A and B are shown apart, each in its own frame.
Chain A
Amino acid sequence: MHSLSFDIAHMLSGGLVLASFLMLYQDRLPSLINMLALQAMMLGLSVAWQAITQDAPHLYITAALAIGFKAIAIPMALRRIIVKLDIHRQIETVGGIGRTMLAGIGLVALALQVVLPVTSASDALAREDIALALSVVLLGMLMMVTRRNAVSQIIGFMSLENGIILAATGARGMPLVVEISVAFSVLIAFIVVGVFLFRIRERFDTVDVTALDQLREDST
């Protein structure tokens, strides 16, 4: 059962989770973006491997999209944004790296505990894939919750979306149109959020989202 293809797929999806963990404690934005690029690259490789093992040529397109857009285009654009916003040298305070990592470990354990018993009927590859994908989703959300900087929140969202793509490709017979539409919606979300970032910056001189809350009169 533990064939080479399973091990390679396992390694690549595990690489995604690892990249998520790496992201959790990056306190500089450029390195955070590098980690996102790394994760997207792992995703592309993982999807490509799925295309080989599942013998589904359309997944090559997904892999190419993942590597082209998410590993190259979006990180480049993000780098340009942070340079323009002049926050690429800032250090973001990431509250309690140890605690965050512990929470992340707990979330991965939870994801495995939830998914593995439920999907006992399907094949091992899909099970591991879905379990790890859920871990990536949860870690992405954890990142969105723990960061204050709007750019890091977007990166958390991107990483969350990587997990979704991973889950989608792990399931056999997912049509291409679904994957492409998810990829495009993320791209559009990226563009919209990018525009908003500059607007926020223009208005508040910062992209720290706590500044947004000060505008509201009755926030507690």
Chain B
Amino acid sequence: MSALAVLAVGIVVLLAIAAGGLVTRRGAVIYGACLAVTAAMAVTAAMALALPAASMVLPIGLPGLGAHLRLDALAAWFALIVNGGAAAASLYALGAGAREPEPGRVLPFYAALLAGMNLVVLADDAYIFLFAWEVMSLASWALVMSRHRAAENARAGYVYLVMAGFGTLALLLGFALLASGGGLAFDAMRAAHLAGWPAGLGLGLVLLGAGSKAGLVPLHVWLPLADPVAPPHVAALMSGVVTKVAVYGFIRIVFDLLGPPEWWWSLPVLIIGGMTAAVGVLHALMERDLQRLLAYSTIENIGIIFLTLGLALAFRANAMPAAAALALTAGLFHAGNHMLAKSVLFFGAGAVLGATGERNIERLGGLIHRMPVSSACFLLASVAIAALPPLNGFASEWLTFQAIFVSPALPQWGLKLLVPATGTLLALAAALVAACFVRAFGILYLGRPRSTVAETAAETDRFSLAAMIGLGALCIACGLFPGVVIDALAPVTQLLVGGAMPVQWQSAWLTIIPTAGATGSYNGLMIGLFLALVTIGTALTIHAVAGRRTRRARPWDCGYPNLGPATQYTAASLSQPIRRVFSSIVLRSSEVVDMPPPGTLRAASVRKTIHDPAWEALFAPLAAAMSGVAGWLNQFQYLTIRRYLLMVFGLLVILLIIVGMVP
């Protein structure tokens, strides 16, 4: 049986599991089945990476069209990401799903979401693609609404549904444009290339459609609302995997179907990517809600991925296949890395939420003593996502910077100026991400507990730990041996940009060489070994030299034994300098200090406010206009019979007049 057939059967089985979720409330059965199926599918997808493209037509779907499925290297890579993330989330859910108050609201939609995502990746005609896209959107909406009684969740679900509908509409229009040349099948679209302004319009529509799903600024507003309110394993899927499926949709359409790119296509992608990276991390740095912090960090990473895609477009348009392959490899690699790290982070956040019931990091702290294993995994994933060597995040971001360093070779002056500018944004974002996760980890796990729930927390269950440890190990493996991943991605870049990075496996000491003849190189293994040696050596030295006597003291008590935990650094105080420097302009953050005059017994207070410019400049006016128009139209629902007659009569007369005037 071919790999494609295995994946197709897997989708059918997932749908059957979704139907089973309607029958049984036993999460262990559903999640166990999902874990088995997605793990098998992930292995199949990994093996299919190196295989030639295979396709099949099933006699379902639109009459006369059928369902076209195709598994090429790109689809295989994203199928690997989807199923890898799904398998980890299912494993995590084996433990965490038991804490779910109403499993009947989650189980069927969870399996349906997995099936939908897989079908998007395998789809080879516009109808199946959009159908699967909608299955994915609606299933994840149902999951967001699984705890629908809170008003906040209902609002998140509404915003998510609106944005999903908007995105699908944009994609629908984009496909209509693409299908004008031949038919709905992707093969016909590949054969009939668009050129000139229709291609630009198609790019814009795809950027809107896929970008709204991926969380590009300014279409990101649904992500920080929807992700935190979903169950933890679903939040991990939505942040780590659903956004990657959106990235896949963008790559599939723009690199594969839209035809040979022109250099200016890369401009909007680069600008939006850079903006997304910077704005996302600034928001993450200000956030107190742990899940929302992670959601904003997802936005930042999506920005990085789109930045690399923009670079790849620019290089490909200028016939620089090696550089394009470098940029695209960086983006694809980063997509996988982000899935790994972000899933662990969401699992860790879910474990904290399950142990304490608290999402506000200002009320947590000191959890490293009570949740040692999950805190270690969280730390590892933080290091990975903050792009520190020797972990995988650094490898992919290093490749991104290498691609940016090639940009002076581009002939267009616009790109020559823009790419370094976005590179600066990327560097800024990378530094801020490090600060953001220092803050998140430090406030969450270090110091002293700031509430009783944090004091009484206990380590999470072993399934959750197994999922976190497994993905964490993959983070380390991909960080130490990035060459394996880069070589595995060579068929994908060969398919999309007609070039590939040099084969890394044969290079001496497994050093990464970005392009043939490049001066810079990186060796994750060496750096990892060096760091390990230095760390161990330092620890041994300290223990050998320092005295044996140890004294345990409470952190942040400044030498006074009876100071409360409020004396510690808080999340807000840690991020205040950055808030003052950057966010006062970008996010219009402001602080109001209310200091009562002497003699008054009122408590003093500091109130800080943050504005999301995307929400206020784009969505709020849009929503106000929409509700204004709707309210104005509403009065036509309540007219008298005579007025309705009058409207019909008036319209008839007007039409007759038009007919009479235009013979």
Query: Which residues of A come within 8 Å of B, CB atoms?
Result: 107, 110-111, 113-114, 117-118, 138, 141-142, 144-145, 148, 209-210, 212-213, 216, 218-220
Contacts and interface: CB of A to CB of B under 8 A. Distances in A.
23 contacts: A110-B657, A110-B660, A111-B656, A114-B656, A114-B660, A117-B660, A138-B652, A141-B645, A141-B648, A141-B652, A144-B645, A144-B649, A145-B645, A145-B646, A148-B642, A209-B640, A210-B640, A212-B640, A212-B641, A219-B639, A219-B640, A220-B635, A220-B639
Given A209-B641, A209-B642, A218-B638, A145 B649 contact: yes
Contacts of A144: 645, 649
B660 A138 contact: no
**What size tier do the contact residues of chain B reach?**
10 to 19
Given A110-B653, A144-B649, 19 more contacts: A107-B653, A110-B657, A114-B656, A114-B659, A114-B660, A117-B660, A117-B663, A138-B656, A141-B648, A141-B649, A141-B652, A144-B645, A145-B642, A148-B642, A209-B640, A209-B642, A210-B640, A212-B640, A216-B638
Given A110-B657, A114-B656, A118-B659, A142 B638 contact: no
Contacts of B659: 114, 118
Nearest to A209: B641
Closest 7 CB pairs of A and B: A113-B660, A114-B660, A117-B663, A141-B649, A213-B640, A145-B646, A114-B656
Contacts of B657: 110
A138 B656 CA distance: 11
Contacts of B656: 110-111, 114, 138
Contacts, number: 44
Contacts of A117: 660, 663
Contacts of B648: 141
Contacts of B641: 209, 212
A133 to B, nearest CB: 14
Interface in B615-663: 635, 638-642, 645-646, 648-649, 652-653, 656-657, 659-660, 663
Interface majority SS (helix, strand, loop, mixed), chain B: helix
A69 B654 CA distance: 34
A105 to B, nearest CB: 13
A7 B639 CA distance: 45
A218 B638 CA distance: 7
A1 B635 CA distance: 54
A144 B663 CA distance: 29
B646 to A, nearest CB: 5
Interface string B130-166: 0000000000000000000000000000000000000
A122 B614 CA distance: 63
A30 to B, nearest CB: 23
Contacts of B640: 209-210, 212-213, 219
A114 B652 CA distance: 12
A13 to B, nearest CB: 19
A201 B659 CA distance: 42
Contacts of A209: 640-642
Contacts of A142: 649
Contacts of A216: 638
A138 B653 contact: yes
Contacts of A118: 659, 663
A130 to B, nearest CB: 13
Nearest to A150: B641
Contacts of A113: 660
A213 B642 CA distance: 10
Contacts of A218: 638
A113 B661 CA distance: 9
B650 to A, nearest CB: 9
A114 B659 CA distance: 6
B538 to A, nearest CB: 77
Interface string B334-355: 0000000000000000000000
A64 to B, nearest CB: 32
A200 B659 CA distance: 40
B656 to A, nearest CB: 5
A219 B640 CA distance: 8
Nearest to A148: B642
A93 to B, nearest CB: 14
A34 to B, nearest CB: 24
Contacts of B653: 107, 110, 138
A83 B641 CA distance: 25
Nearest to A146: B642
A216 B637 CA distance: 12
A23 B471 CA distance: 86
Contacts of B663: 117-118
